[in-house]
Amino acid sequence: MASNQEEVKLLGATGSPFVCRVQIALKLKGVEYKFIEENLRNKSELLLKYNPVHKKVPVFVHNEKPIAESLVILEYIEETWKGNPILPTDPYQRALARFWSKFIDDKVVTAAWKSVFTADEKEREKNIQESFEALQFLENELKDKKFFGGEEFGFVDITAVFIAFWIPMIQEIAGLQLFTAEKFPKLYKWSQEFLNHPVVKECLPPRDPVFAFFKGLYQSLTASK
């Protein structure tokens, strides 16, 4: 189904790992869309109209119908544009893909974030431990596969872009050794494979400004202690 730029919109913010997920899926499937950059400190009326419940990005708008929550958006994109599938056809494998993606959101993203961006030291320590345990589960799940999706990257890999691109950045800022080649050899190898994939490479935000932004966030947090 042909789509022109008017029909498909993505409200996002450069530097958001959740927005990046959607961009990777759209790129992989060759879907053209209009990207609308949101200023999250001054949310537009459009964003508030399209996502009144959470007021967050990404919001995917197809023929004026909005969808929020990155994993929900990925499922919608998969069902609407069938080329280069990101989910397997077998129901059990699909359930596993959904499980690990949810796991990444529930256990890795929050804990990794709080390992860095929490003022309280005890909280940080607790989250570092949780992140470590969660990453270990993923390391074990990956085994010797090239991608979580097998020979080609899929739903879980896309969800895990946070691990590949964002964790190394935020851990550098905080001086943490959370995700390293030494501690997680398979996951690390996966991250390099994934980041260098031609489709993914084009969707990653520019590192320097994103790094600077998070560094600023970290400094203001630690300075206000």
Partner 1 sequence: MADEVVLLDVWASMFGMRVRIALAEKGVEYEYKEENLRNKSDLLLQMNPCHKKIPVLIHNGKPICESAIIVQYIDEVWKDKAPILPSDPYERAQARFWVDYIDKKVYDTWRKMWLSEGEEHEAGKKELISIFKLLEETLGDKSFYGGDTFGFLDLGLIPFYTWFYTFETFGNFKMETECPKLMDWVKRCMQKKTVSKTLADEKKVYEDVLGMLKAIRESNH
Rounded Cα distance between 21 and 78, Å, is 13
Question: Nearer to partner 1 by C-beta: 38 or 75?
Answer: 75
Rounded Cα distance between 22 and 161, Å, is 11
Interface residues with partner 1 (CB under 8 A) are 53, 62, 65, 67-69, 71-73, 75-76, 79-80, 91-92, 94-95, 98-99, 102-103, 107, 137
What are the strands of the beta sheet with 34-37, ordered from one edge?
Answer: 34-37, 8-12, 59-62, 65-68
Question: Nearer to partner 1 by C-beta: 163 or 173?
Answer: 163
Residue 153 CB contacts under 8 Å (≥ 6 apart), including other chains: 86, 147, 194, 197, 200
Shortest Cβ distance from residue 133 to partner 1 (Å)?
Answer: 9
Shortest Cβ distance from residue 71 to partner 1 (Å)?
Answer: 8
Shortest Cβ distance from residue 146 to partner 1 (Å)?
Answer: 23
Q: Which 8-state DSSP code applies to residue 104? A: I
Q: Give the start-end residues of each E strand in 116-212.
A: none
Question: Nearer to partner 1 by C-beta: 94 or 215?
Answer: 94
Question: Nearer to partner 1 by C-beta: 156 or 173?
Answer: 156
Shortest Cβ distance from residue 72 to partner 1 (Å)?
Answer: 5
